[in-house]
Amino acid sequence: MSMDKLKRNIMNDKKLVHNFKSYIGLDDNNFQVNRELDKPIEEIKPKLLAGELVIGVAHNVLLYAPVSEKPYGRIGSLFVTNYKLSFITDDPTIGGCRQQSLILGLHDVTLSMIASVFELSGLDEESGGKWRRRHLRPSHPLPKKVQALQIICKNMRVLAFGFKMSASGKGRTIAASLLHHAFPKRHFLLFAYEYKEPYYSTVGDVNMFQRHNDWKREMDRTNCQNWRISRANGTAEGFYQGAGESLVVPASVLDFQLSEAAGHFRKGRVPIWVWSTPGGACLVRSGELFNTGNSGNTGTPSHVPESVLLEAIRKTHPAKSASKVLPLSIPSLRSAFKKLTNLCTPNTMTDFWELDGQFYSAMENTRWLKYVSECLSVAEQAAGYLSDNITVVLQEGDGMDYCAVVSSLIQLLLDSHSRTIKGFQSLIQKEWIALGHPFSDRLGHVSLDDSDISDGDREASPVFLLFLDCCWQIQKQFPLSFEFTESYLTTLWDSAHNQLFDTFLFNSPRERDLAASKCLTFRSVWDWKEQFIEEDIQYFYNPLYSPPTQHTHPPKSIIPPSAIRLPGLASPQKSAISEHLWLSPSPNRLLPKTSVPYLDIWQQCYFRWLPLLHLPGSGDIQFLLYHIKITREVKILQEKLATKDINRRSNGAKDEDSNIALDCPSLNTVGAFFPFVGNTTGAGDSHALLTTSLLEPHQQLDSQSILNAPD
């Protein structure tokens, strides 16, 4: 099935054919299988892509509500394919609404998105009405009977399914299928290699940094002087591991000198250029030198090649001034993310309230915001040096992780082009794709056997999420300076785990070239129309975005936040403008607050799957929706003025523009996490959960509660 045909099918037939019976009002022990429905249920099939095959299936499966041990009261069919986990039920509104994906259904998750699979058992009085969880691993034997499964996703989503009403052995079948296909041992086992649908790119002006001319274009854009493009890394003697064939190096350094020096740097990552300031200072990335005094068989002290290269970098500066070397390191990021995931994925409502009572101390204990703060602080420090026309060299381990984070953040702070959608996508292509961030390892596309390595040695680590969180922190402080929204950033994190798209699929450009020899069809994640309809894509664009030169200084008066009241909202909301949201006198530089007290928790990304927080009429999304509506009304008025048609009315007919924002939902009908979750149905579910809490109201909301956090 072609992608265009798939789009038409989804747009013209958004509701599945329903052959299920409702069991609303019955508890888990009162479910009865309707044998009359056996035949039509067996005919239910998921929508499959070209090359997608059903591996395991179970009918009469219960879908459990998030943060609950009670089912929704509906049954459905659960499928495991070689691409996704898919649950099909008769009520498409169950679980709230989210983006209308052209590829995935409401209760579908890609196999690459799955982080952990747990067996749930013992839901009875002896266990206190709570599930007992057992972590299922590919290398361990499965239990003979699986009563229920819990799926923890890499984007904090939790799905739980019960097999009490299914045929005998179906729970074990689903578990075995998941463990085998969601944690492949080889890269070519990913579904991307099976998906043969033709692809015609409509990406446009994104610089992909795949060819010599792509780097030349970036050098011209930033007026880079005294550097040259070397293609030595594309030969059989390539030395810079993980990167493509083109590297920008000092013009005075010859290729053989680079090759010789590479033996002293980890992964051969010698200092290379990535960006220039108008004054001639450069941003440079480098791996660390080996700890030993000698490297290989050269017998040359390792500091000598570094000194030679740093001297060559110094000479590229118009004033021949010395460079500033900034070492980078963040320990235990994986451990911090694991703690953050545990905080954001409570199993039951009781667990939620227990965590909520100590939320801020628990959040501090994860150290996640501390790492965000450290990255922002180093980026701000480096941006200061570059603003003073001092070349900066970022130096880190293998040069593939935090170099990418900090280098990208520096350019966001200094280069307004990077704050546009096309510019941001080009930035990721340069710093993360072309220079070889190991996405396959860090995102866990391919799994290693748990018995082979210790937890501390794992390659999987959410470095890219750390970067996106840092971007969101800056974006929140400077809401007028970014063309893209937080919904765009959240969607980008989700899409990084969609293996249909090659952008975040490989560890290096060389791996991508090897996949091409296996006839893999490359699809860029930046082609958003492949995944979403226009109505969802509109939420990627900030209606308040304006070029930096238009708001470089604070206005003469700032409206107090308490005075801001948007139509349709019950209470005053915090203004999107505050005293530190304005640009520095330099039209391109942003000056963010970087210490932890000034940072926020990225609730849309981390908490959108918790129904307890789907409060209607709340969240920053209210400002986005309101300004989208106002912007459209202004545009239509401008068009009418231009055509002198402002007073035109049909005789006695309703103004055709009176419902200008029909595709922009009413503010009081959406929750804090729209467009992912948050219509009136989701809000209703959250209120139901809130009122059934076992704790007293004064116990529920205290100084530690996330529900007390300002919008």
Model pLDDT for residues 406-430, shown as the tens digit of each residue: 999 999 999 999 999 999 999 999 9
For the chain, counts of helices (H) and of strands (E) = 21, 14
Tell me which residue of 305, 284, 285 sits closest to 296, measured CA to CA: 305
Residue 361 lies inside a defined structural domain of this protein: no
526 and 565 share one domain: no
The tokens 């490297």 sit on which residue? 295
Could you give the number of structural domains in the chain? 3
Residue 637 in tokens: 């008025």
- C-alpha span between 163 and 64 (Å, rounded): 11
Residue 590 lies inside a defined structural domain of this protein: no
When mean pLDDT is compared across 80-94, 387-401, 517-531, 532-546, the lowest value belongs to 80-94
Who wins on pLDDT, 139 or 696?
A: 139
CATH number at residue 91: 2.30.29.30
* Cα atoms found within 13 Å of the Cα of residue 35, Cβ hemisphere only: 0
Determine if the peptide bond prior to 675 is cis (ω within 30°): yes
Percent of the chain with pLDDT over 70: 76
CA 247 to chain centre: 28
581 and 546 share one domain: no
297 and 439 share one domain: yes
Residue 612 lies inside a defined structural domain of this protein: yes
221 and 163 share one domain: no
CA 410 to chain centre: 20
* CA angle in degrees (0–180, nearest 5) for 558-584-426: 110
CA end-to-end span of the chain, whole Å?
Answer: 43
The region that residue 339 occupies, defined by phi over 0 for left and psi between -120 and 50 for alpha, beta otherwise, is alpha
Residue 200 lies inside a defined structural domain of this protein: no
In what order do the strands lie in the sheet containing 324-327?
272-276, 282-286, 392-395, 324-327
- C-alpha span between 438 and 229 (Å, rounded): 23
320 and 239 share one domain: yes
Residue 452 lies inside a defined structural domain of this protein: yes
Average pLDDT of span 82-108:
82
569 and 540 share one domain: no
* CA angle in degrees (0–180, nearest 5) for 221-247-258: 135
416 and 499 share one domain: yes
Residues 6+ positions from 606 with CB-CB distance below 8 Å: 156, 340, 344
Asked if pLDDT for residue 595 goes beyond 70, the answer is yes
Residue 656 lies inside a defined structural domain of this protein: yes
Considering 367-371, 516-520, 707-711, the range whose residues carry the highest mean pLDDT is 367-371
Tell me which residue of 311, 328, 333 sits closest to 320, measured CA to CA: 311
Average pLDDT of span 318-346:
95
The tokens 């290729």 sit on which residue? 255
- C-alpha span between 539 and 248 (Å, rounded): 36
546 and 565 share one domain: no
Residue 360 lies inside a defined structural domain of this protein: no
Range of the domain at 657: 561-585+599-708
578 and 655 share one domain: yes
> pLDDT per residue over 348-392, tens digit each?
888 888 888 899 999 999 999 999 999 999 999 999 999 999 999
* Cα atoms found within 13 Å of the Cα of residue 51, Cβ hemisphere only: 15
Bridge partners, 284 (sequence order):
273, 393
570 and 499 share one domain: no
> pLDDT per residue over 604-655, tens digit each?
999 999 988 888 888 888 888 888 888 888 888 888 888 876 565 544 444 4
Tell me which residue of 445, 448, 450, 415 sits closest to 431, measured CA to CA: 415
569 and 488 share one domain: no
223 and 94 share one domain: no
Residues 6+ positions from 140 with CB-CB distance below 8 Å: none
Residue 95 lies inside a defined structural domain of this protein: yes
